Amino acid sequence: MPAATTNSPTFPWCFDQIYQEYQNRIYQYVYHLVGGEQADDLTQDVFLKAFRALPKMDASLKLNAWLYKIATNTCYDALRRRRLIAWLPWQDLEHEPADVESGDPQEIYGTTELVHVALNRMPPQYKTALLLYIQQGFSYGEIARTLNIAESGVKMYLSRARGSFRANYRALEQESTAKSGV
């Protein structure tokens, strides 16, 4: 990331400090949304977008929510591109990642990975809300600002996210149990 600062009289932060403080958290968030194969690149994209937009911001900016909003939008764009590319006729299916459902998830990934697989099966908006709340410790208001929804919508998203996660996790456990013959 370029070493640059924004020293406008209306903006109190230095980009280098922002990057140092948020880089690991944003990376973890991006990793959970899109997976490891793109996390590094997308994290860099997030900070590049923030770097370019920072001079236009004023001191009232809620930095934490703003960065996560950029990360969320960047990840959603990447997921949309991934879905589009998967449907293109020239896509070589032999080089696609292994389908999680075709193997025994317990043997392939272990319990920790069952969590990741269950999260990846969730609708993106619910997964995002759940990760912001549980992993990042965001308040309902911060999640609402990040996702551009009403605070009451956050409560609904989290409720549905928990239900979706439980259903996906239980299904994975049942698949694992059925395949192992227990």
Q: What is the pLDDT of residues 128-182, one digit of tens each?
A: 898 888 888 888 998 998 888 999 999 999 999 999 988 988 888 888 777 766 5
Q: Quote the pTM value.
A: 0.53
CATH for the 9-97 domain, from 3.30.565.10, 1.10.1740.10, 1.10.150.120, 1.10.150.20: 1.10.1740.10
Contact 26, 46 (CB under 8 A): yes
pLDDT at 100 over 50: no
Only one residue has tokens 């900070």, namely 47
Distance, CA of 131 to CA of 42 (rounded, Å): 17
Tell whether domain 100-176 is in CATH 1.20.1560.10.
no
How many Cα atoms are found within 13 Å in the side-chain-facing hemisphere of 78? 21
Distance, CA of 41 to CA of 43 (rounded, Å): 5
Domain ranges in the chain are: 9-97, 100-176
Only one residue has tokens 């001191």, namely 59
> Quick one: pLDDT at residue 181?
63
Contact 117, 104 (CB under 8 A): no
The model's confidence at residue 58, banded by pLDDT at 50, 70 and 90, is confident
> Quick one: pLDDT at residue 172?
84
pLDDT tens digits, residue range 60-95?
Answer: 888 888 999 999 999 888 887 766 544 434 333 333
